[in-house]
């Protein structure tokens, strides 16, 4: 279960890279370091739990199609994750990969749409709940995907809460 630690780190650093990439005054080297570290944290989690390969690659594909891999920090992490995908090709379940790709794409589209909504509907669509719900549906097959997503999201949320204080 050490992969949980890497999921927390990856979530935290992904959000950190997101926020850093939005700064007008930023140093490219720092952004590159964020991308390398969060990409490696994701990959190490996948190497520790090979059943995560389908989730990692699927969510990455969904984010690419949603246009979320748009800054240097994320492009660097993308290359690291794609190297992992090639290495893990034998561990990938295409049905699970496709499910996560579709879920991640839908999460990102809904997240963008949430900015136009108010109240409970806006908060629900902002939460990116489709991927965790898909992972929850996989519990009879594998619990690792659900635990990884929850751990990643906790790390991502910790960074969000830390920033707001």
What pLDDT is stored for residue 162 in this prediction? 66
CA separation for the pair 91, 141 (Å, rounded): 14
**Distance (Å, whole) CA 106 – CA 74:** 19
Q: What is the mean pLDDT of each run of 10 residues along the chain (165 residues)?
A: 95 88 78 92 96 96 95 94 96 96 95 84 82 92 93 88 58
pTM comes to 0.89
Give residue 132's pLDDT. Answer: 93
Can you give the C-alpha Rg of the chain in angstroms? 15
Q: Single out the residue of 43, 35, 61 nearest to residue 7, CA to CA.
A: 43
């Amino acid at each position: 279960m050490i992969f949980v630690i890497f999921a927390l780190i990856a979530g935290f650093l992904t959000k950190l890279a997101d926020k850093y990439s939005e700064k007008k005054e930023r140093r490219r080297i720092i952004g590159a370091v964020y991308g390398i570290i969060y990409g490696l944290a994701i990959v190490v989690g996948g190497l520790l739990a090979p059943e995560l390969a389908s989730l990692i690659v699927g969510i990455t594909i969904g984010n690419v199609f949603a246009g979320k891999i748009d800054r240097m920090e994320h492009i660097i992490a993308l290359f690291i994750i794609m190297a992992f995908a090639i290495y893990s090709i034998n561990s990938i379940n295409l049905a699970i990969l496709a499910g996560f790709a579709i879920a991640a794409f839908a999460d990102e589209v809904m997240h963008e749409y949430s900015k136009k909504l108010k109240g409970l509907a806006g908060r629900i669509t902002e939460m990116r709940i489709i991927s965790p719900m898909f992972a929850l549906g996989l519990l009879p097959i594998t619990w690792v995907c659900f635990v990884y997503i929850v751990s990643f999201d906790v790390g991502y949320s910790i960074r969000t809460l830390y920033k707001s204080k």
